[in-house]
A and B are shown apart, each in its own frame.
Chain A
Amino acid sequence: MSTEIANPEALADTRDALKAKRQERKEDRLELQGTARDLFVARYEDTFEIEVHGNDIEFYRPMSARDVELTDVDEETRERIEHGAALLDQFEARQRQLMRAAQSDEMSLPDLIDESMGGIELMAEVLAAHAVDEDLQDARVWQSIYRNENKLGDLFEDFTAEGDGQSQQEKLNALENLTSDNTSTS
């Protein structure tokens, strides 16, 4: 059978319409240029570390690239930023959807459990997409290290807080200790 297509004219119209739609979307996006672009990329590449079981894990910073067009950024970096940001958006959208479903009794408990398993996969994907170390850039690595959703969730929260989660927790613990000391001495 011929590997050519039978309707090139119809396809040409669709291709052009698709191009026009893409262009329209592009025009709607905010184009980051000059200092704004440099700052955006610099912030992403200003990595932070989270200590996990005695290992310092380095992450790129989570960014929102939903409505921005990054021009004059090398292809690999741009794709990495956009991929990570898209996964984060997907995770947040899923959380909102689950929250709504849980509140409105739309989902049964087994379905909610199934859905939360998908959440673990997505969290692992986000961490993998932001890990600087190549050995940690595979979501399956994160899933094999953390079988437990809560434990992975703790690390994920720390990641979205850009590493401040631990210090915030330490401050909270210190405050709690202080309060309980005061209570016990009074």
Chain B
Amino acid sequence: MSTVNRTNNTEVENSQVAIILADETGTDPTRTVLALASKDDLSTAFDESSEDFTPSAERQTRQYRTSQTFTVEVSSALAADLEAMTEIGLASDSGTDGIEFSTSTTDRRIGFGEEKYVEIAYLADELPSDLSTFDVVADTELLHRFGDCKLMNPEIDPSSTPPMASWEWAVEGEKYIDYNPA
């Protein structure tokens, strides 16, 4: 069951999306970009046929009361950092060239008691030439935050450089569609 209050039809303007792993476990918390994708290659869905929506295409206010699984689907993304991809279980450093996915259940879980979560940043503009000036919050039009994610259906194609990957996350923790960390 859910109630839907549509606010407007504002669509996220730019198409580029950065998928980020935020890690607050250390003394110096970090944000690492895992992959770059196009907004059309991302969707979020409740496990109910009539209950899915694309946040980047339509801003809505929704209240959900559901026991169904919330899933984030990344149908195609360019893996930016293979080392970081091992953190989410999508790449394995035990593979011959480090680009096969991990089958370890532990590797495939993010968060779950740790201060780690996923952020999906819809970039407000093209990435700047000097990336040290890129600000995840200020340069982002819409930011999601998902906690306690289980990796499902990972696929990685090493034939392209950087490798192409696709996967799904079952989100069991917090879900913020329009997240402002400030």
The interface of chain A, by Cβ under 8 A from chain B, is: 1-15, 17-18, 114, 117, 138, 140
Contact B181 A1 (CB under 8 A): yes
Given the interface pairs A7-B80, A10-B80, A14-B162, the reply to whether A1 lies near B22 with Cβ below 8 Å is yes
For this complex, 24 residue pairs linking A to B, each with C-beta atoms less than 8 Å apart, are: A1-B29, A2-B30, A3-B135, A3-B137, A3-B138, A4-B135, A5-B20, A5-B134, A7-B33, A7-B80, A7-B84, A8-B131, A10-B33, A11-B18, A11-B80, A11-B127, A11-B134, A12-B131, A14-B33, A14-B78, A14-B79, A14-B81, A15-B36, A114-B49
B149 to chain A, nearest CB (A): 18
13 additional A-B pairs beyond A12-B131, A13-B162, beta carbons within 8 Å, are: A1-B29, A3-B136, A4-B31, A5-B20, A5-B31, A5-B32, A7-B84, A10-B33, A14-B35, A14-B79, A14-B162, A15-B131, A140-B6
A-B CB proximity, top 3 nearest: A8-B131, A10-B81, A14-B80
B182 to chain A, nearest CB (A): 9
A5-B136 contact given A11-B81, A15-B127, A17-B78, CB 8 Å threshold: yes
Interface centre among B20, B138, B162 (most CB of A within 10 A): B162
- Asked if B9 lies at the interface with its beta carbon under 8 angstroms from chain A, I say yes
In the complex, which range does the number of interface residues on chain B fall in?
20 to 34
The chain B residue sitting closest to A10, CB to CB, is B81
Contact check, A10 vs B134: say whether CB atoms are below 8 A apart: no
Q: Please, what's the 1-or-0 string for B26-43, where 1 marks a CB less than 8 Å from any CB in chain A?
A: 000111110110000000
CB-based contact B24/A1 at 8 Å: yes
Pairwise interchain contact A4-B136, C-beta atoms closer than 8 A: yes
Of all chain A residues, the one with the shortest Cβ separation from B21 is A6
Residues on A with C-beta less than 8 A from B105 are none
B79 to chain A, nearest CB (A): 8
Within the assembled complex, what's the spacing in Å between the Cα atoms of A4 and B80?
Answer: 16
Neighbouring A residues of B161 by C-beta, 8 Å: 17
Query: Which residues of B sit under 8 angstroms from A7, Cβ to Cβ?
Result: 32-33, 80-81, 84
A2 to B33, Cβ gap below 8 A? no
